[in-house]
Amino acid sequence: MLKFDLLKTDAPEGDYLGSHARRGRLTLNHGVVETPIFMPVGTYGTVKGVAPSSLEDMGAQIILGNTFHLWMRPGQEVMKSFGGLHGFEQWNKPILTDSGGFQVWSLGAMRKITEDGVTFASPVNGDKLFMSPEVSMQIQTGLNSDIVMQLDECTPYETNGHLTTEAEARKSMEMSRRWAVRSKDEFARLENPNALFGIVQGGMFEHLRQESLEVLVEMDFPGYAIGGVSVGEPKAEMLQIMAHTPHRLPAHKPRYLMGVGTPEDLVQGVADGVDMFDCVMPTRNARNGTLFTRYGDLKIRNARHKTDHQPLDTTCTCYACAGRPVDTPAGRTGVSWDAGGRDGFSRAYLHHLDRCGEMLGPMLATIHNLHYYLNLMREVREALDAGRFGAFRAQFKADRARGV
Distances (CA, A) of 139 to 77, 87, 106, 107, 110: 10, 16, 19, 19, 21
Closest to 65 (Cα-Cα) out of 105, 79, 152, 131:
79
- The CA angle 156-22-19, to the nearest 5 degrees, is 75
List, in sequence order, every residue forming a beta bridge with 158; answer none if it has no partner.
Answer: 163
Q: Measure the CA–CA gap between 331 and 347, rounded to whole angstroms.
A: 28
Q: Measure the CA–CA gap between 404 and 229, rounded to whole angstroms.
A: 29
- Whether the CB-CB separation of 262 and 239 falls below 8 Å is answered with no
Distances (CA, A) of 117 to 86, 100, 363, 376: 28, 12, 38, 39
CB atoms inside a 10 Å sphere around CB 179: 24
Angle between helices 206-219 and 166-189 (to 10 degrees): 10
Please pick, among 98, 152, 272, 313, the residue that the annotation labels catalytic: 98
- Whether the CB-CB separation of 64 and 1 falls below 8 Å is answered with no
Would the CA dihedral through 304, 310, 312, 315 be positive or negative?
A: negative
278 as an active site residue: the answer is yes
Please pick, among 152, 265, 272, 278, the residue that the annotation labels catalytic: 278
Q: Strand 296-299 relative to strand 290-293: parallel, antiparallel, unpaired?
A: antiparallel
Q: Which residues contact 352 (CB under 8 A, 6 or more apart)?
A: 306
Q: Measure the CA–CA gap between 321 and 295, rounded to whole angstroms.
A: 14
Closest to 32 (Cα-Cα) out of 2, 9, 56:
2
Phi-psi region of 21 (alpha: psi -120 to 50; beta: other; left: phi over 0): beta
Q: Which residues are identified as catalytic?
A: 98, 278
